[in-house]
Structure 1
Amino acid sequence: MDACSFSTSGGYQYYLDEGVGKGYLPANVDRRPATLQRKQKEYFAFIEHYYKSRNDEVHQDTYRQIHIDIPRMSPEALILQPKVTEIFERILFIWAIRHPASGYVQGINDLVTPFFVVFICEYIDQEDVDEVDVSSVPAEVLRNIEADTYWCMSKLLDGIQDNYTFAQPGIQMKVKMLEELVSRIDERTVESFVGGTGSFALRLPDSLCLCCAERVHRHLDGHEVRYLQFAFRWMNNLLMRELPLRCTIRLWDTYQSEPEGFSHFHLYVCAAFLVRWRREILEERDFQSPPLLISATTETTTTITAITTTSADTVVTTATTSAATDLMVVVVAFKACQRIVSKGTIPLCYSVSKGAIPLCYSELLLFLQNLPTARWDDQDVSLLLAEAYRLKFAFADAPNHYKKLATESLPSSISSDSGGDKLLALDGGFL
């Protein structure tokens, strides 16, 4: 279903009712209207007290970053409306001021949109969630929606705030858990899950066959693609950057009903999401071309040389950058493979002493950071959730799939993967 049909069938009230179990509204139905009004007044008291300080020296960097990040959000047709921009700025700034342990972190801004869209769609006649126009919504209604959006987002973030504290330990741990989980989903696991019969796997949609999860893990590991390079964003933005907004709302609808909250079930959704692309991942190869050589001359200067030779032509490309975290990667392809020659900046985490990385490394990483989900609909999300539930049923009460984690300490920052090699990474490139 799209967001607007969801909201007109009770989406606004549903999301508010979901706050009952999270402490937002009381269980007593008769007390809810008064409590809702009190919470709305409380939010606007925060606005009155804190928002005027946005240009103070102590807070201006936070406000400036929020102001920069909001226009980058999607859908643009919604976000670029001045009223919406102002609402989002206030919500994010107030949340950051009231949560100094983390403050504002890139990625939090995306978490506002689903709540706001579900609430606003109750008051407009709009089919396409990406084209929502708030100009016809009365100012008082917008005020109430702003307050309710703030409180719902706050309740969501209360359960995952360690994702956004210093060094983001929550995300690092979840990415490690995802890697461990995927590495342990093999054919024997599936057979055990269905009572020892392998036939059940044949009834799965081909794109969601869990038997191939271990192969996907080995393929990524063999080509030195690290989970942190693509799954960081999955955890940081709760898949909002990977799915259309209508699908995110459908996904979050299920998350809201989970007794353990967003974070727990999201792990299994991410595992199923990765396996969903197993065919494309396993088919990403070098296509018989020479490798893309990446060599680091120093920690701050990186030279990339791509040499591709076919019977038709030879392409030699060199690019140099002085920032190791802003590495320019040239993906060279040739007519025989019907590839598009492209150039772009991607977050690249690599070992300085390795010296050479195959071409399929960059192809795999670019694919995983730009998954083709633009045409996904409710059925795709339903299949994804079904597979995530199967994984949860098989693994949630069997903590052995986290066994390795018990003997590993969580790094406070990106650490070396072997032999003391220093890993160069990341920061803003994931968003």
Structure 2
Amino acid sequence: MALKITVIGTGYLGATHAAAMAELGFEVLALDVVESKIDALRAGRVPLYEPGLEDLLRRHVAGIEGSSGRLRFTMDWAEVAAFGDVHFVCVNTPQKQGEYACDMSYVDSAVDALAAHLTGPALVVGKSTVPVGSAERLAARLARLAPAGDQVELAWNPEFLREGFAVEDTLHPDRIVVGVRSERAEKLLREVYAKPVAEGTPFVVADYATAELVKASANSFLATKISFINAMAEVCEAAGGDVATLAEAIGYDDRIGRKFLRAGIGFGGGCLPKDIRAFMARAGELGADQALTFLREVDSVNMRRRGHMVDMAREAVGGDSFLGKRVAVLGAAFKPDSDDVRDSPALNVAGQIHLQGGQVTVYDPKGMDNARRVFPTLGYADSAHDAVRGADVVLHLTEWQEFRELDPEELGKLAAVRVVLDGRNVLDAGRWRAAGWTYRAMGRPNA
């Protein structure tokens, strides 16, 4: 008999996972406690931008013409418990207000609500990013609260989604990690992921703690690599070097690799910043805080880049003040192919300049609505050309392909002053300079 899957939480992770499970051939029932989300998803609409996700969703949502009908949505916990053999918990784990630690309240609430209705054998699978030790605690909580007792098992299966590539990463993951305590739990998860495993995806079986640590370790390593090259950009500026050439040269070493070695204004989003802080907080609770003190500097380097871009912009418009100066900001999302503006370096820079008196106009291909909700006092334009019109300086802060393809000559006719600051080190410096622009980027010579 085919497994039935449920997904608890229909945000970025949950909506993607639910649609992908339906694509893999499972009957799926997804739950959320926000009625507006459920209504949108039932109509085949995704309340966020992720390439390919809405098309995938519409191929499977019940009630949409031509769909497989394998994916349904509900707000009823009893219905979810009765339906599913495997329950994936995909709720948010934000940073606690005023602390580094992770807020586990959404995960705890979801587990409690589900457990109350589990009257028979079931496997609950956590996918949310949590502090190490959480699975151990939640397993005991499930066994205590579920009417079926120890017939309800817990497994931990961390997600490794990249925003902009989430559909591909779910259907064709580069690895699957499962923290389990029984052969039955492992067998069920091998059945869930049979198709990607058959394609060659590695399936790593671990204990709870290791499975939780894999995600925290991966994000910490990526954050460290990004901050390393940004620290090298600071040294290059002091020494007169070129960080782009430096990155190219060290990237040829296959022990280092070329990915994540582009200096710029740093990382943001809903994962890396809060995950490395939560990792540090948890290490402190475990008495291993010295092992992760380097992450404080990783975080510090990252945040310094934003202030440095503000300083570069101020220097570009005269050096003293932003008052009376028009600043065009290309980018609002924290990365391209996403509308996510959580802890966005681009918006943070725009906000700082605005607070210092600059007249800031922002354009982003997909992140405008979310940006307006976070920073309603900034100016917003309908296109890159409108944003640049009359600008004293142009800041390129999110590396959308649309911005790389802009014609600097055409753009130059709109700007008041042809000065561009490339906060992502991806624009063709020669092309912009040939069109009469002063081009500057972090860690690189001015000419």
> Could you say which TM-score interval applies, normalised by the shorter chain?
under 0.3
Name the TM-score, length of structure 1 as normaliser.
0.27
Name the TM-score, length of structure 2 as normaliser.
0.26
Q: Greater relative contact order: 1 or 2 (C-alpha under 8 angstroms, separation 6 or more)?
A: 1
**Structure 1 or 2: more helix by fraction:** 1
